[in-house]
Amino acid sequence: SIPEPQREAWKRAQAKGFSGKDGFEKELVRHVETTLARSMFNCDEKAAYSATSLAFRDQLILDWNRTQQNQTYRDSKRVYYLSLEFLMGRALDNAMLNIGQKDIAKAGLSELGFRIEDIIGQENDAALGNGGLGRLAACFLDSLASLDFHAWGYGLRYRYGIFKQEIIDGYQVEVPDYWLDFNPWEFPRHDVTVDIQFFGNVRKEAKEQGKEVAIWEGGEIVQAVAYDVPIPGYNTPTTNNLRLWSSKASGGEFDFQKFNNGDYESSVADQQRAETISAVLYPNDNLERGKELRLKQQYFWVAASLHDIVRRFKKSKRDWKQFPDQVAIQLNDTHPTLAIVELQRILVDIEGLKWEEAWDIVTSTFGYTNHTVLPEALEKWPVGLVQHLLPRHLQIIYDINLYFLQQVEKQFPDDRDILRRVSIIEESQPKMVRMAYLAIVGSHKVNGVAELHSDLIKTTIFKDFVEIYGPDKFTNVTNGITPRRWLHQANPRLSELIASKIGGNDFLKDLTKLNKLESLAEDKEFRKEWSEIKYANKVRLAKLIKELTGVTVNPAALFDIQVKRIHEYKRQQLNIFGVIHRYLTLKAMSSEERKKQLPRVSVFGGKAAPGYWMAKQIIHLINAVGSVVNNDADIGDLLKVIFLPDYNVSKAEIITPASDISEHISTAGTEASGTSNMKFVLNGGLIIGTCDGANIEITREIGDNNIFLFGNLSEDVEDLRHAHNYGSHTIDPDLNRVFDEMEKGTFGTPHDFSGMVAAVRHHGDYYLVSDDFHSYIETHKLVDEAYRNQDEWVAKCIVAVARMGFFSSDRCINEYAESIWNVEPLAVKS
């Protein structure tokens, strides 16, 4: 650091950031003219976006520096959130709002000739995630900073995020996402690098007093380079850090020796192989495929992160015993589980601690969040692959397992089978490492993400572990969403209306304050303003629909929306079968009768994993139904079916505020929580849903007369499935009619969708589509009826919003802080 005598000069020269509109304009023009080397004669919207972002980034980084210095100085316990996915979306709007300068930017941009919406719209989404799991991580970062927690996120800087989805002839086509072509929100830290080792061998070396150490040598080294992304809190100077690692060949760009010898191709091969590690995000949600590159990504990222965390801890010269008092690491799903093994390796092999002492430190440091009970999503790695890639880690896993099984054996001396069931190594062909079990054994707390889900993991997939550790190790933290992005930013007019009625903006930091709205539900004038805002939001979505699909929809119709990853368990097929049923019903009516029907727009959106055939069929069917229904003159505005391509965070910000009803209709017991359910209700839309995930708690909070529930309960699912397979499975007659129509070729060539039909009719209907169909259709009739009475409908929406305070990610983060991390917030001192 700078010596004392020079610090005065340093302080005089310190950057101050801009203030006011004039200050902002000056900074913007400076960036256009110097950083971007442009002028008023060639400054397009992209350049104006870049310059605006750079001006705000400068602002953020001053707070970021202060926060980091403050946190280092105070040296209090930090939280590290390890997530392979951060679905951040756009940063500029969020930064402007969180630091409270959006009005200034709006006025300044307007004076300089730009509309702020156009400028915001220039930004690429940072789409480093698949769905709810990645977006949850992003909401958590917002809350951690807004609540003044000392916290860092660690992830991977994928060169390609989730693919862009195009719809061609009704089919999903995946296109690469070039999001990094200009990204002003990251700071490359070429000085912060870590060498990461792969492959090689392990040798034991004798030490004094008969001790042995393991030496891992050989193999290859890849370099991790840090990229830092500032995370601004709302209405606080706290600006935390998200550190993303990028992979690079160690030892320079490429092999000059080979290059000089004319071997051009192989001179860059090493570099390319190294860079592949952080090149692409795996596009699966709730599905694990054992690919070597994925395991490489996981180790690369956790090893770099742990190295960083340990380096920071060692600076404080504390005793290792204090590590868990300084460090809490949260594992977002099992993807970072190798961090447990890596920390044990660092402590034992490198720092020379005894096994037991190290293991105490490790288990006190980690917490593990489970996000799914779906068997196909539970991560397992072939022992042979781990052995090849990480030979020392496999030994450590075996030792962890040995000590764990010895303990279990002592506890249950008469139960041989339990050892087989809970072993971290599955004795299959080939043998597999069960990552969830490793995560449980290596953590002090395990949590699910909604009450039902947390109960389910305790009684199904982790039942034996509850017997072993007792129930206290297992807990629930129901998910939440940040009201800053999902209300204030996505729905500015509603946020403003609420603020004007309940005495200001405080609800954005304490969402329970929304309860003051409840008394306004019967206020006619208020309801009118509320409805006008909903209508304007629907007009905004109708415009987007027109732009993206060419279809004109009527904003006065009931907007029925299902946007999320496409998955059989989420049952978009149930929804589209219901839409076909509605279409057939309308077609069978006289034109007089039709005139009495309520017009509806059914909107779908979401990506299918590229290798998931059935999910892609579902997308195809939705589009096929759309092209028939939307062009049927008998139907007109009574029904429109829309598939919005390339659903992502920034589109969600437009879609969510425009819904009247949204669909959260997973087979009971399959959706761990869901978070878009919370976003839709918070934006004044009602939901139709099953008794699953967080729907249950939403119902408890908002009241069962403000939600449309249907379908079988999770406790009945197993019996129903059993009956399908071993008894007779009668298909709902209305659904049969839908299937007959599909088979006839009403929506394409006959038998185009025979796989989807067969899944229900002949292959056991695993997702209970037929069992729930009748109750689904009947419940939609109730929705139509309720919507006809707009006064009551709007009152329901207002009451529901008033009662949504619980679902803020701030509440959620406070629960983690208290019951898992044992940390307190500490505001930045000025």
Q: How far is CA 354 from CA 350, 539, 564, in A?
A: 11, 65, 48
Distance CA 580, CA 126 (A): 36
CB 480 within 8 A of CB 816: no
Nearer CB in complex with ligand GLS: 735/812? 812
Nearer CB in complex with ligand GLS: 101/809? 809
Q: H or E stretch including 434?
A: strand 432-434
Can you read off the two tokens belonging to residue 757? 């039909």
Stretch of residues binding ligand GLS (CB under 6 A), selected from 46-54, 88-96, 129-137, 237-245: 129-137
CB 564 within 8 A of CB 132: yes
658-678 residues labelled b (16+ CB within 10 A) or e (exposed): bbbbbbbbbbbbbbbbbbbbb
- Identify the DSSP state of 766: T
Q: Which of 377, 514, 521, 802 binds ligand GLS (CB under 6 A)?
A: 377
Binding flags for ligand GLS, 722-761, as an x/- string (CB under 6 A): ----------------------------------------
The least distance separating ligand GLS from the CB of residue 368, rounded to whole angstroms, comes to 13
83 binds ligand GLS (CB under 6 A): no
Binding flags for ligand GLS, 613-652, as an x/- string (CB under 6 A): ----------------------------------------
Annotated catalytic residue: which of 57, 485, 527, 570?
570
Q: Is 85 helix (H, G, I), strand (E, B) or coil?
A: coil
Stretch of residues binding ligand GLS (CB under 6 A), selected from 243-251, 348-356, 666-674, 809-817: 666-674
Active site residue 780: no
Distance CA 754, CA 743 (A): 7
Stretch of residues binding ligand GLS (CB under 6 A), selected from 127-135, 166-174, 212-220, 600-608: 127-135
Alpha helices by DSSP H, 177-263: 256-260
Active site residue 150: no
Nearer CB in complex with ligand GLS: 128/383? 128
Distance CA 227, CA 190 (A): 8
Distance CA 334, CA 343 (A): 16
Binding flags for ligand GLS, 768-797, as an x/- string (CB under 6 A): ------------------------------
Annotated catalytic residue: which of 78, 445, 513, 679?
679
Q: H or E stretch including 600?
A: strand 600-605
Nearer CB in complex with ligand GLS: 488/567? 567
Q: Which of 244, 672, 678, 686 binds ligand GLS (CB under 6 A)?
A: 672
132 binds ligand GLS (CB under 6 A): yes
Q: Which of 108, 324, 689, 693 binds ligand GLS (CB under 6 A)?
A: 693
Question: In 3D, which of 564, 584, 588 has the Cα closest to residue 625?
Answer: 584
Nearer CB in complex with ligand GLS: 377/468? 377
Question: In 3D, which of 792, 115, 235, 804 has the Cα closest to residue 487?
Answer: 804
Q: Which of 28, 104, 119, 133 binds ligand GLS (CB under 6 A)?
A: 133
> Residue 101, CB half-sphere, CA atoms under 13 Å: how many?
25
675 binds ligand GLS (CB under 6 A): yes
- Identify the DSSP state of 451: H
The least distance separating ligand GLS from the CB of residue 652, rounded to whole angstroms, comes to 13
Nearer CB in complex with ligand GLS: 449/735? 449
383 binds ligand GLS (CB under 6 A): no
Stretch of residues binding ligand GLS (CB under 6 A), selected from 382-390, 540-548, 629-637, 672-680: 672-680
Diameter of the chain by CA atoms?
Answer: 95
Q: Which of 48, 97, 136, 720 binds ligand GLS (CB under 6 A)?
A: 136
720 binds ligand GLS (CB under 6 A): no
Nearer CB in complex with ligand GLS: 396/649? 649
Annotated catalytic residue: which of 106, 164, 243, 565?
565
Active site residue 564: yes
Stretch of residues binding ligand GLS (CB under 6 A), selected from 407-415, 509-517, 551-559, 673-681: 673-681
> 606 — phi, psi (to 5°)?
150, 155
Burial of 94 (0-12, 13-18, 19+ CB in 10 A): buried
Nearer CB in complex with ligand GLS: 139/432? 139
Residues in CB range of 615: below 8 A, 6 or more apart: 566, 567, 568, 608, 609
Active site residue 582: no
Binding flags for ligand GLS, 437-466, as an x/- string (CB under 6 A): ------------x-----------------
Nearer CB in complex with ligand GLS: 391/669? 669
Instruction: Order the strands of the 474-476 sheet from edge to edge.
Output: 187-198, 220-232, 239-249, 151-156, 78-82, 327-332, 366-369, 445-448, 474-476
372 binds ligand GLS (CB under 6 A): yes
Q: Which of 401, 454, 476, 479 binds ligand GLS (CB under 6 A)?
A: 479
375-412 residues labelled b (16+ CB within 10 A) or e (exposed): eebbbbbbbebbbbbbbbbbbbbeebbeebbeebeeeb
Q: How many residues in the chain?
A: 830
Distance CA 614, CA 636 (A): 30
Distance CA 691, CA 717 (A): 12
Nearer CB in complex with ligand GLS: 564/803? 564
Nearer CB in complex with ligand GLS: 98/369? 369
The least distance separating ligand GLS from the CB of residue 533, rounded to whole angstroms, comes to 27
Nearer CB in complex with ligand GLS: 137/433? 137
Q: Quick one: how many helices (H) and strands (E) in the chain?
A: 34, 24
CB 62 within 8 A of CB 102: no
Name the one residue in this structure whose structure tokens are 């917002």.
142
The least distance separating ligand GLS from the CB of residue 369, rounded to whole angstroms, comes to 7
The least distance separating ligand GLS from the CB of residue 339, rounded to whole angstroms, comes to 18
Can you read off the two tokens belonging to residue 323? 């590590």
The least distance separating ligand GLS from the CB of residue 197, rounded to whole angstroms, comes to 29
Nearer CB in complex with ligand GLS: 134/483? 134
Distance spanning both ends of the chain, measured CA to CA: 20
Residues binding ligand GLS: number (CB under 6 A): 17
Active site residue 570: yes
Residues in CB range of 327: below 8 A, 6 or more apart: 77, 78, 80, 309, 313, 365
The least distance separating ligand GLS from the CB of residue 454, rounded to whole angstroms, comes to 11
Annotated catalytic residue: which of 164, 453, 488, 564?
564
Distance CA 765, CA 426 (A): 29
Question: In 3D, which of 677, 675, 679 has the Cα closest to residue 653?
Answer: 679
Active site residue 321: no
- Beta bridge partners of residue 239, listed in sequence order: 232
- Identify the DSSP state of 554: -
Stretch of residues binding ligand GLS (CB under 6 A), selected from 90-98, 126-134, 194-202, 797-805: 126-134
The least distance separating ligand GLS from the CB of residue 685, rounded to whole angstroms, comes to 18
Stretch of residues binding ligand GLS (CB under 6 A), selected from 259-267, 669-677, 723-731, 771-779: 669-677
The least distance separating ligand GLS from the CB of residue 763, rounded to whole angstroms, comes to 23
Rg of the chain on CA atoms, in Å:
28
671 binds ligand GLS (CB under 6 A): yes
CA dihedral of residues 645, 134, 709, 705 (deg, nearest 10): -110
Chain residue at closest Cβ approach to ligand GLS: 132
Contacting ligand GLS within 265-324 (CB under 6 A): 285-286
Instruction: Cite the active site residues.
Output: 371, 564-565, 570, 675, 679
Residues at the contact surface with ligand GLS, assessed by CB under 6 A: 131-133, 136, 285-286, 371-372, 377, 449, 479, 671-675, 693
